[in-house]
Structure 1
Amino acid sequence: MPHAGGSGAPGVDPEQLWLRPTEPRKGRRPSFSRTAITAAAVAVADAEGLDAVTMRRVAAEIGAGVMSLYTYAPDKETLLELMVDHVSGELTVTDPPTGDWRADLKAIAHLQRAHMLRHPWLPAALVTRRVPGPNTLAFLEHALAVLRPTGLDGAAKLEIFAQLTAFVAGHVGHEIAQAAVSRSPDRAAAEARYLAAVAADGHHPELAEALAAPGLSLTPEATFSRFLGRLIDGLDVTP
């Protein structure tokens, strides 16, 4: 999910992107659509990462000429806006808020985490503040409704949602990186030996004590839930 209230990437006109017709009005009927182009770009990013997404690669995926894509997405930044909003359509919430805003915010965060893990390129894409498209706005509307019981003003609610999204994106980015390390047993073992040596050198007593403490569950889900609880339970919603 993008940050709420973002101004978008330089050169991306939100009115042109979201409010005006997306299909050419003249000439022969195109054999592809903006939706198809965006879906192809998402598939490439899911499989190979954002660096693999180029106008030439996406054109090849849908069997179109590169120049024909520029009618729908004049540059990669615009294409990325389309991709972010396209996958945001997966963030559907059918149940209304329960009234327990902290529990509902945690549910939103877990939904975002699962969403970003399905699309590992999203945390990096969300570093740039983006213009909310229709799918993103629908999810944002739900989040604002969740926060209504807090009594906060609109700006504060938008800030909380942006803070939550930034936390999830940062955590998932770290989670993906750690998963890559765990797939390299030699590197993981080297890191463990290094920390053990540091803890035993006598110069880091606080770290040594922390490492000697009883271990908590280190499953990705449990770790995320603990971090999320500290964030949301500690939110100050005093007007």
Structure 2
Amino acid sequence: MDSPSPPVIWARLAAPRRVRERPLDYEIITRAAVAIADLDGLDAVSMRRVASRIESGTMSLYRHIRGKDDLIELMYDHVLGELDLAERPSKGWRAELADLAGRSRALQHRHPWVSQIGQRPTMGPNAVRVMEYAMACVDGLGLTVDRMLDMVSTTLHFTQGFVQAELAEAEERRRTGLDEDAWRDWMAPYLSRLLNEEEHPYLERIVTEAGHPGQDEVFGRRLEMVLDGLALGLR
């Protein structure tokens, strides 16, 4: 009797393949799934649609990939391969984490569905490469592995949350068809009435005093606050 195959796709791919199997090209499968997600979102990815895109039978696909969970594993690891990382960090932990956060943000904007997935606990080859690099960014600080993970995860989780807010705002603009200036003009009468009818001191300050910096500036400023907090923890 054949032993059950490993539940994680990376373990199955590493296992010896039976001679009678005629494997599909996982790279082609993954690229097809990523293209669908980039175009129509993660919910649009299905085994049937991927099979149709690569001109294969759906059942043939199921002989290699158990379902959408496997596809997402492959897709996530595939796009992580786009992160252009040096062989070893060399600029100091703060600059390195800031650079990694910026690259992660850009990656999630190229593939908006990635922000829905988050920092997956996956063991794909590119995920392991990124994890090794991120941990090397905070090596040499005299920290335990748990504290090193705290620093890396705090930075990347902040980045993910920021991108999710950016994408939500972009979706709102797409849905309404309004750019930022038009949206403010559209909301002005409502905000004016709201402030006249009730006391909202902080909302009033936001409306009257807050500037309108670009998202790159806001991201950089808030990332510095996160890194300041991490630096304080080191002391």
Report the TM-score, using the length of structure 1 for normalisation: 0.83
CA contact (8 A) 1:182 1:188 kept: no
Q: Report the counterpart of residue 209 of structure 2 in structure 1.
A: 213
Mapped partners of 1:48, 1:238: distance in 2:
43
- Does the C-alpha gap of structure 1 residues 96 and 197 become closer, same or farther in structure 2, counting only changes over 3 Å? farther
Cα offset, 1:71, TM superposition? 2.6
Cα offset, 1:123, TM superposition? 0.6
Cα offset, 1:214, TM superposition? 4.9
- Does the C-alpha gap of structure 1 residues 207 and 193 become closer, same or farther in structure 2, counting only changes over 3 Å? same
Cα offset, 1:155, TM superposition? 1.4
In structure 1, what residue type is equivalent to 2:138? L
* 1:1-239 paired onto structure 2 within 5 Å: 12-13=7-8, 16-17=11-12, 19-21=14-16, 25-27=19-21, 29-30=22-23, 32-94=24-86, 96-126=88-118, 129-183=120-174, 184-185=177-178, 189-217=185-213, 219-235=214-230, 236-238=232-234
Q: Structure 1 regions of 5+ residues with no counterpart? A: 1-10
More displaced stretch, 138-147 vs 97-106: 97-106
Q: Structure 2 regions of 5+ residues with no counterpart? A: 1-5
Cα offset, 1:26, TM superposition? 1.3
**More helix per residue: 1 or 2?**
2
CA contact (8 A) 1:40 1:58 kept: yes
CA contact (8 A) 1:101 1:149 kept: no
Mapped partners of 2:12, 2:183: distance in 1:
45
Cα offset, 1:187, TM superposition? 5.5
Cα offset, 1:148, TM superposition? 1.1
More displaced stretch, 83-92 vs 165-174: 165-174
Report the TM-score, using the length of structure 2 for normalisation: 0.84
Cα offset, 1:209, TM superposition? 2.2
Equivalent pairs counted in the alignment come to 224
Q: Tell me: higher relative CO, structure 1 or 2? Use CA pairs within 8 A at least 6 residues apart.
A: 1
Mapped partners of 2:129, 2:112: distance in 1:
22
In structure 1, what residue type is equivalent to 2:223? L
Cα offset, 1:202, TM superposition? 4.5
CA contact (8 A) 2:10 2:123 kept: no
- Does the C-alpha gap of structure 1 residues 216 and 156 become closer, same or farther in structure 2, counting only changes over 3 Å? same
In structure 1, what residue type is equivalent to 2:93? W
In structure 2, what residue type is equivalent to 1:74? R
Cα offset, 1:61, TM superposition? 0.4
Mapped partners of 2:191, 2:18: distance in 1:
60
Cα offset, 1:132, TM superposition? 2.8
Instruction: Provide, for residues 162-198 of structure 1, a one-character-per-residue CA deviation record: whole Å limited to 9, x for no partner.
Output: 2222221221121112122234227654444433433
Cα offset, 1:85, TM superposition? 0.4
- Determine what percentage of the aligned residue pairs are the same residue: 36
